[in-house]
Structure formats: structure tokens, C-alpha cells
Structure 1
Amino acid sequence: MRWADGFIAVDWGTTNRRAYLIGSDGRLSDEMEDDQGILAVGKGGFDRAVAEIKGRLGDRPLLMAGMIGSNRGWVEAPYAPCPAGLPELAASLKWVVRDHIAIVPGVAYDSGDAADVMRGEEVQMLGAFADGMIPPDALVCHPGTHNKWVKMEDGRIASFRTIMTGEMFNLLREHSILADLLQEPANTGAAFEAGVRRGLEGDDLTAELFSVRARVLLGKRERSDAASYTSGLLIGTDLRIGLRSAPDGEVVVMGRPELTGLFAAALRLAGHEAREVDGEAAFLAGVRHLAELVQ
């Protein structure tokens, strides 16, 4: 069984998994997506979960990325240190079954007091560079549950910082006193922009979050605007942190379009050009280039 004859790439996260069948011509020929992330599968269930993917997409070599390689996943794949490019990832693949099933290692940043890790986003970053979607030197914002701000240098991940913006919004929406106000989808209207500006300028996030409810109770803001304002507030705070290392110039925003659109709008309010890159296309580019390196 040869990688050149086609393979299956899996982006296996905490709550979801996406698997793609890549043909011998490098094109996507089939795919599947479900809610069987690592927490749903659990220790002891990964052999069966991998067999399900093969049963759906065929008996092909597997290249897996994301939380599947964490200490809560199938087999732990130690991180590749920064600076890391595609060759470093290929050299550090964790082989579950030699020449047949491999897990991408993820990347770690360790410098002085700074310490950070990523799993899955590295494939997108490096794939986007390899396919010419982004320049070799760039600041990349990757919104998601754990938003990443990544500094690319010479086509490699040089450093990065994680901000828990997406997880914070989800926790507020599901478990906080604001929960009933945050069920509407966020959009990029006036309330969102007001939240972004407040996040960019202020340093009182936890106090401002409570005021979201108070303003609605006192009739100072419409209930329907609460989710958009809160999203903007969190994203503005996120940008205030992420832009410290690069206050000027273009920012690449990579990920799911519904998230990149929000962050791109916020970046423009902050005076930055924003280049949106589809995360799925970048992931597919990354796994194709990694597969070429292991053939």
C-alpha cells in the first residue's frame, strides 16, 4: 500500500473529526464529518473509530492531525519545537503502524517564561505557505476555540500565542449569568463594532462582561444585540493582545469562514488589512505536502 496511490487525511479534534480521501492525483475524492472527537471516542475506542473511517473511505494509509495525538488521544505524538516547517513535522511523525498510519506531532513554543502548544493548526499554517496562499513571513490569526496568533518566518512557525476567546464565549453562552442573552448568532453590525472598539481600548473585560446584562436590564441596549456586542468585546480584547508583536501591516486570518469574517471585520476596525484564508483548503494543502515528504 503506497501513499502515492492515495491516502486518508484526518483532522481529529476534541469534539469533531473530519476525514478526507485524497486520490493519487492529489484531489479530494470523498470526505466525512461527524461529532466523534477524542472526548466522544475515549481511551480504548480509537481502534474501532479508525476502522470506521477506513470502512467509510477505504483501506488507505492514514495521516492524522489534531488532538488525536494529544495525551488524551489515541497515541501521544511529542511536539516539534519552534521554529518548525513541513520538513520538521515530517521528520517527527508518530508512526502508529509503520509506513501506514501516522500522527502529525503538533508544535511547541518554549522561550523563557513563554510556553505554548498547538495541534492541528500547524498543518494549516504550513500548508497555506507551501501552496502560496500566504507569504513566508506573516502574522497569522487562527480563530477558534483556542485562537492562535502565529508569527511565520521564512515559511516556518517561529512563535505563537494562544488566547481562549472561543472557549470563553462558549462558557459564557452555556454556563454564565449571560447565557440567556447570548443565544442569538453574532453578526458584524453596529453592536459588534461597539464591542470591538471597547475591547481594543479597554482593560476591564470582566467588568464589561457583567455590564452586558446590566445595560439590557436598564434599557440601554437591545437584548438582540447582546451576543454581537459580547463577541465583539472578546474579539477586540483578543486583537489587543495578538497585535502587540506586530502593530502594523496585513494580518492573515485563517480558519472557518464564519469566524474569519468576524475577525477580519474587527481587524479592519483596528486599522489592519485582513487576508482571509479558508482553513479546510489550507489543511488539505498541508497534508498533501506532508504525504509527499513521507513517500
Structure 2
Amino acid sequence: MSGAFIAVDWGTTNRRAYHVEQGSVIATERDGLGVLSVRAAGFPTEVAALRTRFGPLPVIMAGMVGSNRGWHDAGYVACPATVETIAAAVVQPEEAVWITPGVHIDAPERADVMRGEEVQLLGAVAAGLAPGDALLCQPGTHNKWATLQQGAIVDFTTAMTGELFGLLKDHALIGSEMAGAVDADASFRAGVDASAEADLLATLFGVRAASVLGKRAPGEAAAYVSGLLVGYDCRARLREPGQTVYLLADGLLARLYRAAVTIVGGKAVMVDSQASFVAGITQIRNFMS
């Protein structure tokens, strides 16, 4: 299948749409109309509105729009997952509209799922932004760490790093200390260094103790806790000194993870996540029959 189309990365709280022609983005828009903001019966109307703005084109969507909280449950494909296996499993809720499946691990010892990230991970390889054999990381509320071999997702792990930071800040005893800004500064780097300690739970309580005893200046705890969690996350994934991690991130998350990967002894290579998504969804479309 070829020709111009509308690609939609439709998440829980945000949506990004692209008018794509021959692998190039002609126009794009981003809004806060995530799947939780749309009524179950409202998705056809929203897709029609996209076609009004971008043109009467086929639409291919990825992300939480294909979950049991979205428009239509598109299911999952198993690892090893490739562009071809994802393209073969797309669902079609209405004429000229398709939703890609997610990817899962369903093994006796553990289970994991992703939905939407797989398009960017596979697209990074398709666009030549990462090699076919690589460790990739997509930071976020639920970080995805994926191992690719010969261009296929063969394994991945989801870490609740971002969500845990939010829970600690909003609900934990140490939350009242976490009022400062977060960036890849000295406090963040100190947290990454401290993540080498095996006892994460005790180190977290130490944030409160340091505040009570005046050992940390007010406003530094948020960056320190962020460094502690991100550092712990990175140390759990990087198994070899000098290991390269391809980071699909920008802005603050890119700065944080690039700093943490470097501190724990790895090498961070930045990858354009938008270019990866467009390349991935274009490849999926090309393999759709």
C-alpha cells in the first residue's frame, strides 16, 4: 500500500497527527485530545475532523487509541515483533482507517506490554537512526527499554520511573521536600551517583533525613530524587561498560537520561522520536496488504 496518508500517534493524554507523503511530513498538529478525552462513540467524528484539515486520506493510527480504553482494541503481537508482523495484524474499525496492534511479552516468568512505542522503536531502525542490533530507551512516565536484533524487537522492559517520581512527589512523606525544579544539574547527578547503593528504599527515606538535618539545601530534593530513580533505572538495564543506548527523547527527558547513562558508564546516542514514528508508520503502511 502506498500514497499519501494521515498518521496519528494517539496516546492517553495527547495526540499528534501527520500528513505524510512519500515518507515526508507535509503538515503536523499536536493537541491534548488524548483517548481519555474522547467519548467511545466520538472517535469517528474526530477522525473525520482530521480529514477535513489534512484532506480525504487514509488514516493509520497507533498508540492507546488501539487499547481497551480507546476506539477499538487492536490486540498485541508477540516478540520478536517486526514491521511486517505489526502490519499483518492491523485492525480496521471503518473504511480507510486502520489501527496498529501493540507488542507483548507473555512468558511464565513475566509479562509486559507496549502500545505505540513499538512504531518509534522499529522506525528508528527503518530511518537509519539506530542499528538493527541495539538497546533503545524511550523515557516517559513508563520508560521502555527495548532490545532489537536484526531490526526486530526481541525483548523489552517497562519501568515505572516517571510514575514513581510523581507518586513520591504527590503522596509520599518526602514529597514536601520535592518542591524544586528538576534538571541535569549537580543535585540530579548526585542522585545518579547515589543510585549505585543497593538499598533504594532506604536511600529514598534519606531524602527526608537530609532535609531535617540540614544536609541538603531547600529546592534540591526533587532533582536528587529524579537522579536517584533515573540512575537506578539505567543501572538495571546497562550490563556492560561503555554500552550504547539509543535514546528516543528530547527536551528535559533527553538531558536527564543522557546525563544518567553517561554517569553510570554508558554512551547515549540521541534519536529523533518524531522522525522515528513517521518512518515506522510509513513502513507499516508499506507492508499492509
Structure 1 partner of 2:25: 28
- 1:279 and 2:273 matched: yes
Q: How does 1:3-42 map to 2 (within 5 A)?
A: 4-23=2-21, 25-42=22-39
Match of 2:182 among 182, 186, 210: 186
The answer (yes or no) to whether the contact 2:169–2:178 under 8 Å persists in 1 is: yes
Give 1:170 shift: 2.0
- 1:258 and 2:252 matched: yes
Residues 39-72 of structure 1: per-residue CA shift (max 9 Å, x gap): 1214232222223322332221111011111111
- 1:52 and 2:49 matched: yes
Misfit runs of 4+, over 6 Å: none
SS at match of 2:62: strand
- 1:241 and 2:241 matched: no
Structure 1 partner of 2:219: 224
Structure 2 partner of 1:90: 87
Structure 2 partner of 1:111: 107
The answer (yes or no) to whether the contact 1:257–1:278 under 8 Å persists in 2 is: no
Match of 2:208 among 213, 228, 251: 213
Residues 152-181 of structure 1: per-residue CA shift (max 9 Å, x gap): 011000011110001111222333344444
Give 1:183 shift: 4.3
Once residues 54 and 116 of structure 1 are traced to their aligned partners in structure 2, the CA distance between those partners, rounded to angstroms, is: 34
Once residues 212 and 57 of structure 1 are traced to their aligned partners in structure 2, the CA distance between those partners, rounded to angstroms, is: 50
SS at match of 2:41: coil
SS at match of 1:150: strand
The answer (yes or no) to whether the contact 1:256–1:280 under 8 Å persists in 2 is: no
Calculate the TM-score normalised by the size of structure 1. 0.92
Once residues 210 and 55 of structure 2 are traced to their aligned partners in structure 1, the CA distance between those partners, rounded to angstroms, is: 55
- 1:126 and 2:149 matched: no
Q: Which shows bigger deviation, 143-152 or 55-64? A: 55-64
Once residues 181 and 62 of structure 2 are traced to their aligned partners in structure 1, the CA distance between those partners, rounded to angstroms, is: 29
The answer (yes or no) to whether the contact 2:121–2:276 under 8 Å persists in 1 is: yes
The answer (yes or no) to whether the contact 2:23–2:278 under 8 Å persists in 1 is: no
Give 1:77 shift: 0.5
Q: Unpaired runs of 5+ in structure 2?
A: none
Calculate the TM-score normalised by the size of structure 2. 0.93
Identity %: 45
Give 1:91 shift: 0.6
Shift in alpha-carbon separation, 1:61–1:113, aligned structure 2, 3 A: same
Once residues 174 and 50 of structure 1 are traced to their aligned partners in structure 2, the CA distance between those partners, rounded to angstroms, is: 36
C-alpha RMSD of matched pairs (Å): 1.8
Report the AA paired with residue 57 of structure 2. Answer: R
The answer (yes or no) to whether the contact 2:192–2:232 under 8 Å persists in 1 is: yes
SS at match of 1:112: coil
Structure 2 partner of 1:173: 169
Q: Which shows bigger deviation, 253-262 or 107-116? A: 253-262
Give 1:186 shift: 1.3
Q: Unpaired runs of 5+ in structure 1?
A: none
